[in-house]
Amino acid sequence: MRYLLIALFSIIGLNGMAQKDTKAKEVMDQLGLKVKQAKGILANIQLITKNKKGQGLGTKSIRLKMKGEKYLLNQGKMEILCDGKNIYNFDGSNSISKSDVGESDQALSPQKLLSGNYDKDFNYNLLSQNAKTATIELYPIDKRKNFQKVTLIIDKLKSALSSASILDKSNNITNVNVVSLSYSVQLADNLFIFNRSKYPKNVEIFD
């Protein structure tokens, strides 16, 4: 019985370690530090979504500007602005939805992927690494999230996200390709302040 208990506790301990892989955390902490130290971040990102049969569901090109907790995301005429407290989502036509930052927690935005701040929301495991790159799997702690798993490819030399793959609850896969990324862009503070006058007059705002 004694040996059985020792074996049982060993298994529990190993499972606990697998949930928060220390080697994965080292890589992600470097990424997070690079983001925190950045003056301003500019990223061009391509999202390619396929269903579980491998059929294409669409491609999106996104331009993202980040400064601390604030960001501006543009996709064609559509725009998402976060001032650190509220998120304003312009549909590119005639409506803007306003929500609290906390209300967006079920989704995984490009901003969250680039931030490197995964420790609070995910369990993680280092799949592989070499001198240049690391591959890390993330699993949401909150099972209500609208995705099952995220696989990150991190450039260790630049401490930057190279690409990611998101598996959602419907088994669709979205590949996130970071086309270009700069950590030293000068971004004015007023860029992240919601300005009603910049949108068409017929636009309605929904809280």
Give the tens place of pLDDT for each residue, 95-138: 999 998 877 665 677 778 888 778 888 999 999 999 999 999 99
Report pLDDT for 7. Answer: 36
d(CA 11, CA 16): 9
How is the chain classified by DSSP, letter by letter? -HHHHHHHHHHHHHHHHHHB-HHHHHHHHHHHHHHHH-SBEEEEEEEEEE-TTS-EEEEEEEEEEEETTEEEEEETTEEEEE-SSEEEEE-SSSEEEEEEGGGGTTS--HHHHHH---TTTEEEEEEEE-SSEEEEEEEESSTTSSEEEEEEEEETTTTEEEEEEEEETTS-EEEEEEEEEESB----GGGGS--GGGS-TT-EEE-
- Domains of the chain in start order, with CATH, are 22-206 (2.50.20.10)
Give the tens place of pLDDT for each residue, 34-77: 988 999 999 999 999 999 999 999 999 999 999 988 999 999 99
Report pLDDT for 90. Answer: 96
Report pLDDT for 142. Answer: 86
Report pLDDT for 105. Answer: 61
Interacting residues of 8 by C-beta distance below 8 A, sequence separation 6+: none
Question: Structure pTM?
Answer: 0.82
Report pLDDT for 14. Answer: 37
Give the tens place of pLDDT for each residue, 167-207: 999 999 999 999 999 999 999 999 999 999 999 999 999 98
